[in-house]
Structure 1
Amino acid sequence: MLNRTITPEFKQVIDINFLVPNKQQLDNGIPVFTINAGQQHLVRIEFIFENVNYNALKPLQAIAVNQLINNGTPSLSAKEIAERVDYYGAFLQTEYGADQSSVRVYTLNKHLAAVLPILKSIITESIFPEQELAIFVQNQKQSLQVSMQKNDYLARKQFANEIFGNTSYGSSIEPEHYDAISRQELLDYFHAAYKPENCTIFAAGKFDADAFEILNRNFGGNWGEQVPFQINKFDFKIKDRKEIFIERPEAVQSAIRMGRLAINRSHPDFPGLQVLNTLLGGYFGSRLMANIREDKGYTYGIGSAVVSLRDAGYFFIATEVGAEVCSSAVKEIELEIEMLKNELVQAPELDLVRNYILGSMLGSLDNAFSHADKFKNLHFSNLDYSYYDRYINIVKTITPEELLVLANRYLQQEHFTSVIVGKK
């Protein structure tokens, strides 16, 4: 009989097993990484394209193309595309990221042969009708106007621009950028970026040899004209401390975002920095939550994160607090950072963080799709599965002394950019 009055014993995760994809290649050279697993006859196929030819004067090209790519081809209107995909019970999704853009489809295996020709038309023949572009511009401008009234959006936008400048990582999008979009610019970008030599395919689910043959039959040939392209490449330097205040006199709450340029997944310090970040603000039991939310009552939520991009990484802390306690909240955040730089973490707290990180990783691997996502992190960082072995080992064995070194290396507030939107 289970005695519910006794707290279950903590046990550290011992092994985490990853499904390693099978690498294949279409007839035209496109690499295909396949994880054939799961019980349901369902498959997700994802086409990922590197973002290319970045032009600071046209920051919306890649974004607009990705969002409008399924809005019309020579043979299918936006309505017809949606109806045909729905008819087969499939789901089509596009996603723009700072480094790559993707088009993915979820479908039952029995409908794969019917769904992929629709996807092929979208990826190889999109025409970006003027009417659909006009609707997109109108909707996005309205959405931007709403976002510009939110303090947290303004803080996030200003922070990224200060750290990364007018690159795809930090471009400050304004309404006039939407007004400047032309259909020809979208077509130019589409023909440059959405091509076999700039494509990687990830397939997960019940994806067997027959499914691969259907994929190859649809996407293994010539996609059309060859247009020159250059994959985006950026270089950034750590900056000195900078404090930015955007006053909103009517604000009830002030948004705070602070942080700095850091490292990405390819750096050997990255796993240890993730542990340090989790201690500070990376989960609900973190020090920032305990202090700013639970003890002081300044906010409903506060968190920190280390983000890995292809050409950089960055660390940030974000929260919204009552305008009258904004200065006090900033001081408490700075005190928590200094404590990590000057005092050793105690074993019980560190053990809790270890268990949280390992448990979260194990819990995130619940299906073939999540295993494919974990592999994508490696692939686009030019890493192999030894990264996860090393990551898990560091989480299990990192010492308080090593965390102290990392805190003094990466939490130097003399390199922090701080943005406050609202009232100090």
Structure 2
Amino acid sequence: MTGTISGAKTHRTAEEIGRTEIGPRPLPELGTQKAAVDLSTVDSTLPNGLRVIAVRRATVPMVEIRLRVPFADPAASSAGSPHSAQAELLANTVLTGTAARTRVEIDTELALVGGELDSVVDPERLSFTGNALASGLGTVLDVLADVLTNASYPADELERERARLVERISIARSQPSVIAREALQKVLYGDHPYAKEMPEADEVATVTREDVVALHGKALLPRGSVFVVVGDIDPAEAVAQIGEALGAWQGDGEAVQLPPLPPVNGGDVLFVHRAGAVQSQIRLAAQAIPRTDERYPALQLANLVYGGFFSSRLVENIREDKGYTYSARSHPEFTVHGATLLVDADTASEVTAAALLETRYELARLGLVPPSESEVDVARRYAIGTLLTSTSSQSGLASFLVNLVGLGLGLDWLVAHPQRLQAVTPEQVAAAALEFFAPGNFTGVLVGDAEQLTPKLRALGGVSFQ
């Protein structure tokens, strides 16, 4: 609403606010990037083999907890293995009851301290995520300890969750993004367990309660696992409290780590037919390097320049300039054994071949026309800013830290990384671009309708058809 009080406007438009009588208001200079604050932390290993990392961040009177349990298939092969289906059902039912608590009692007890617990699984790990008021940490630990040592997997809860999981898997497998992801993982890793991110619905349907209980006993182990707590705590006291609460969690052996992945070799993009599709999914991948490699900071900035944020070359080309896609991006994906570079774009069928051509063109251009000093500086500011922003909250820091620890890194890497990014030169970014973004390094998949796409893709080349 616009009105006047004593002849003055009570409301100004955004255009009016942004301008003066002599023209647009100048933008202020960007401030200096702030370094990460010093963090009080304790890193200890309990007698049962569980590593505990406690970090004080007293921004709010809360705590965030993360438990990472390596949970790979001990058979080291996804072919015919029931592990994926059993692990999914375990993650969906481990919090549904114990010998001492029902599902409702677990939820109620956590709610009384402003808390919650959740669990998810993937081919690498079983993860527990939780939070509560700082004063409720003991309650969360007590519930978690009960779940880890006495989960009962009630038959009615398991039956209900199994039916829901079968339905969710069936629906997910009809989604283009899931079809593309599964096809890409198969191309990259074949029968390696990492390629099987989702079990088949019929595999889940055959899992019994006895299967889940047995998996819990042999695979949900403290030795090799990591517990992270971040919040308004005294780190030493928190470690002692966790040790007392989780000391009864025992088990023979060590949690199973994912076996090494095969290297990603460049090659043709595999075409996957999806009849009647009006959109196509382009998914490319290449071998990358882990965060421990001294070249990683330069690679991180090269990736941002290519397609890692909205101001990147790829987005400017196929989204802003040509309108081929609403969303395009490139990003690294890390496992305990290494890393890959991924490029994702969804396009309308009629421009799919052109979008693939421009995506490859930008890969080549990154190496042949190296990023300018200005491009590197913008990417650097974005990288440092997003790192500091994403880890400024208790939740963000806890999640980032538990993932770092799973990759063999720690809080010291996080604290020092802005300085590593600051030291990267444009020449180092150019070298990383030339080494890692060459089009020949990449392989991948393209999901779409064969009737519409095949002629143009054959003419383009570099695409294989089943």
What TM-score does the superposition give when structure 2 sets the normalisation length?
0.83
Kindly report which structure 2 residues correspond to 1:288-303, keeping only aligned pairs within 5 A, or say none.
288-303=314-329
The answer to whether the Cα contact below 8 Å between 1:263 and 1:313 also exists between their aligned partners in 2 is: yes
Q: Deviations over 1:36-90 (max 9, x none)?
A: 2214332223222112443421223333322221012122222332233223331
Q: Distance in 2 between matches of 1:229 and 1:372?
A: 21
SS at match of 2:445: strand
After superposition, the Cα gap between the structure-2 partners of 1:309 and 1:287, relative to the gap in structure 1 and judged at 3 Å, is: same
After superposition, the Cα gap between the structure-2 partners of 1:374 and 1:17, relative to the gap in structure 1 and judged at 3 Å, is: farther
Partner of 1:21: 41
Kindly report which structure 2 residues correspond to 1:214-363, keeping only aligned pairs within 5 A, or say none.
214-220=241-247, 222-223=248-249, 226=252, 230-363=256-389
Matching residue within 139, 150, 161 for 1:136: 161
Q: Distance in 2 between matches of 1:166 and 1:121?
A: 36
What TM-score does the superposition give when structure 1 sets the normalisation length?
0.90
Task: Measure how far apart 1:168 and its partner are.
Answer: 3.8
Q: Deviations over 1:370-400 (max 9, x none)?
A: 3334433442232355544664344224333
Greater Cα shift, 51-60 or 279-288: 51-60
SS at match of 2:314: helix
Q: Distance in 1 between matches of 2:266 and 2:237?
A: 56
Instruction: Determine what percentage of the aligned residue pairs are the same residue.
Output: 23
Partner of 1:419: 445
Q: Distance in 1 between matches of 2:416 and 2:130?
A: 33
Q: Deviations over 1:245-301 (max 9, x none)?
A: 122232111111111232222222222111111111111111111111111011111
Q: Distance in 1 between matches of 2:99 and 2:279?
A: 50
Q: Distance in 2 between matches of 1:341 and 1:13?
A: 28
Matching residue within 61, 75, 87 for 1:41: 61
The answer to whether the Cα contact below 8 Å between 1:12 and 1:355 also exists between their aligned partners in 2 is: no
What is the RMSD computed on CA atoms of the aligned residues?
A: 2.6
Greater Cα shift, 115-124 or 53-62: 53-62
- Find runs of 4+ consecutive structure 1 residues off by over 4 angstroms: 209-213
Matching residue within 85, 91, 95 for 2:110: 85
Partner of 1:161: 186
Aligned residues: 423
The answer to whether the Cα contact below 8 Å between 2:192 and 2:261 also exists between their aligned partners in 1 is: no
Partner of 2:128: 103
Q: Deviations over 1:9-31 (max 9, x none)?
A: 13452533352521234454533
After superposition, the Cα gap between the structure-2 partners of 1:241 and 1:180, relative to the gap in structure 1 and judged at 3 Å, is: farther
- 1:146 equivalent in alignment to 2:166: no
**Structure 1 unaligned spans of 5+:** none
Greater Cα shift, 66-75 or 102-111: 102-111
After superposition, the Cα gap between the structure-2 partners of 1:79 and 1:185, relative to the gap in structure 1 and judged at 3 Å, is: same
Q: Tell me which structure has the larger Cα radius of gyration.
A: 2
Q: Deviations over 1:304-332 (max 9, x none)?
A: 10111101211111111111110010001
Q: Residue type matched to 1:392 in 2? A: P
Q: Distance in 2 between matches of 1:224 and 1:31?
A: 13
Q: Distance in 2 between matches of 1:288 and 1:256?
A: 13
The answer to whether the Cα contact below 8 Å between 2:64 and 2:131 also exists between their aligned partners in 1 is: yes
SS at match of 2:326: coil
Q: Distance in 1 between matches of 2:42 and 2:92?
A: 30
SS at match of 1:60: helix
Greater Cα shift, 226-235 or 357-366: 226-235
Q: Residue type matched to 1:192 in 2? A: K
Partner of 1:179: 205
Q: Distance in 1 between matches of 2:296 and 2:30?
A: 26
Q: Distance in 2 between matches of 1:205 and 1:309?
A: 27
Matching residue within 68, 78, 95 for 2:93: 68
Q: Distance in 2 between matches of 1:11 and 1:265?
A: 27
Matching residue within 409, 422, 436 for 1:396: 422
Partner of 2:393: 367
Task: Measure how far apart 1:352 and its partner are.
Answer: 1.3
The answer to whether the Cα contact below 8 Å between 1:266 and 1:381 also exists between their aligned partners in 2 is: no
The answer to whether the Cα contact below 8 Å between 1:244 and 1:418 also exists between their aligned partners in 2 is: yes
After superposition, the Cα gap between the structure-2 partners of 1:366 and 1:26, relative to the gap in structure 1 and judged at 3 Å, is: same
Q: Residue type matched to 1:278 in 2? A: L
Partner of 2:224: 198
SS at match of 1:239: coil
SS at match of 2:325: coil
Q: Residue type matched to 2:367 in 1? A: K
Q: Distance in 2 between matches of 1:16 and 1:36?
A: 14
Task: Measure how far apart 1:229 and its partner are.
Answer: 5.5
Greater Cα shift, 60-69 or 377-386: 377-386
Task: Measure how far apart 1:119 and its partner are.
Answer: 1.9
